[in-house]
């Protein structure tokens, strides 16, 4: 057995001497030869120095230290020769590829804003021009700001688990923590901390536990608006929404208000615009763009605002819906796929 070990050790020593000779005699006269030299000797997978390091256990114990030192010396020599050869090429301008400075430059691809961002910025600009400030709030909201303060009774269907993503259940110590289902909670926070007159919009991302389809998604973006002051009427609400619709859909836009119900407004309405489509028998159809109404007195009283003195209106719309109408998109899912072919259209 000892004779076999000696034979293996002798082979390893012979390989080391041959390696040392090859390291010394290899000519490094081009950049390509330096790269090949580095790979041949120092590569982790096929480097010859690396291979010899793995053979140290084959050498007799009394010779391993010296064998290892000689391998390290060989490795240092390889690195030294590479450094010397590389430095000799550093000033050689003719060794690199020739450059034709008369050729036109490469076209740099431009990024673009997402259509949701386009729509949000336009909506924000419209309402800011009418004196609305922008307010923001947390996406993880408590039950009070998301439901109770907005006049949602305890048994309202919107509180059901199948509609809302709860982080902590309603019976928890904090009374329920959830991913907000609308940005109306921001309005409550503003009214809690600011006295009328109040004129704000609250844009942001909201979450609903809904089946994903071409017209619905588990998350989307909203812009909600609130105006509270003395003498605010339904006529004021209609005027601001009409001004908004004209800006986004043209001066000749046709609108209608349909009676509806929301827990936090009374009276409430949904707003439709007439969407022209020559393929339809009537030449178009009515498309809903938002819900709105006068702020319910219970909501005002809940945040300490005298409902006998102050009135207000509120409205809310989905930014995705506005973007889809404005840009002719018929599937909400494409807004979240980040397909570069789709996004390039908005450069």
Q: What is the pLDDT of residues 184-242, one digit of tens each?
A: 999 999 999 999 999 999 999 999 888 888 888 889 999 999 999 999 999 999 999 99
Predicted confidence at residue 174, as pLDDT, reads 61
Predicted confidence at residue 91, as pLDDT, reads 55
pTM over 0.85: no
270 and 170 fall within a common domain:
yes
Choose among 142, 127, 124, 75: nearest CA to 241: 127
pLDDT at 134 over 90: yes
Distance, CA of 242 to chain centre: 32
161 and 291 fall within a common domain:
yes
User: pLDDT class for 4, splitting at 50, 70, 90?
Assistant: low
CA atoms within 13 A on the CB side of 254: 7
In 3-state terms, the chain is what percent helix, strand and coil (to 5)?
45, 20, 35
Q: Which two tokens stand for residue 288?
A: 């809903």
Give the number of domains in the chain: 2
Residues 312, 295 contacting (CB under 8 angstroms): yes
User: pLDDT class for 162, splitting at 50, 70, 90?
Assistant: low
Highest mean pLDDT among 38-47, 90-99, 120-129, 317-326: 120-129
Instruction: Identify the three-state secondary structure at position 169.
Output: coil
9 and 130 fall within a common domain:
no
125 and 42 fall within a common domain:
no
pLDDT at 1 over 50: no
Residue 105 domain flag = no
39 and 145 fall within a common domain:
no
Which H or E run includes 190?
helix 184-193
Residue 48 domain flag = yes
Choose among 158, 179, 154, 155: nearest CA to 168: 179
In the block, which residue shows the tokens 């599937």?
Answer: 331
pLDDT digits (tens, 9 = 90+) for 42-93: 887 778 887 877 777 877 777 778 878 888 888 888 888 888 888 877 655 4
Residue 79 domain flag = yes
Residue 102 domain flag = no
What proportion of the chain, given as a percentage, has pLDDT over 90?
44
- Structural domain containing residue 17: 2-91
pLDDT at 94 over 70: no
Average pLDDT of the residues of the chain: 86
Predicted confidence at residue 2, as pLDDT, reads 52
Residue 166 domain flag = yes
């Amino acid at each position: 057995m000892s004779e076999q070990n000696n034979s293996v050790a002798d082979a390893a020593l012979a390989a080391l001497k041959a390696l040392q000779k090859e390291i010394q005699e290899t000519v490094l006269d081009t950049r390509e030869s330096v790269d090949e030299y580095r790979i041949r000797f120092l590569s982790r997978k096929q480097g010859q120095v690396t291979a010899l390091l793995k053979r140290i256990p084959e050498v007799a114990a009394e010779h391993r230290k010296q064998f290892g030192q000689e391998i390290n010396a060989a490795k240092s020599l390889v690195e030294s020769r590479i450094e010397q050869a590389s430095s000799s090429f550093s000033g050689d301008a003719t060794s690199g590829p020739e450059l034709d400075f008369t050729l036109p430059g490469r076209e740099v691809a431009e990024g673009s804003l997402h259509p949701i961002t386009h729509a949000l910025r336009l909506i924000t600009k419209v309402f800011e021009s009418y004196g609305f400030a922008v307010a923001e709030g947390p996406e993880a909201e408590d039950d009070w700001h998301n439901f109770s303060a907005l006049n949602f009774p305890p048994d309202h269907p919107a509180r059901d688990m199948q509609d809302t993503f709860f982080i902590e259940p309603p019976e928890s110590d904090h009374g329920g923590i959830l991913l907000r289902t609308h940005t109306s909670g921001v309005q409550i926070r503003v009214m809690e901390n600011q006295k009328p007159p109040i004129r704000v919009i609250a844009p942001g991302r909201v979450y609903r536990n809904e089946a994903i389809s071409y017209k619905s998604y588990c998350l989307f973006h909203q812009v909600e608006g609130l105006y509270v002051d003395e003498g605010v009427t339904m006529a004021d609400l209609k005027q601001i929404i009409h001004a908004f619709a004209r800006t986004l859909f043209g001066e000749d836009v046709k609108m209608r208000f349909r009676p509806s119900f929301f827990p936090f407004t009374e009276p409430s309405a949904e707003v439709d615009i007439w969407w022209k489509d020559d393929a339809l028998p009537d030449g178009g159809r009515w498309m809903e763009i938002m819900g709105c109404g006068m702020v319910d007195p219970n909501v005002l009283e809940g945040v300490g605002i005298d409902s006998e003195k102050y009135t207000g209106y509120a409205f809310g719309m989905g930014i995705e819906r506005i973007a889809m109408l404005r840009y002719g998109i018929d599937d909400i899912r494409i807004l979240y796929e980040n397909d570069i072919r789709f996004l390039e259209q908005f450069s």
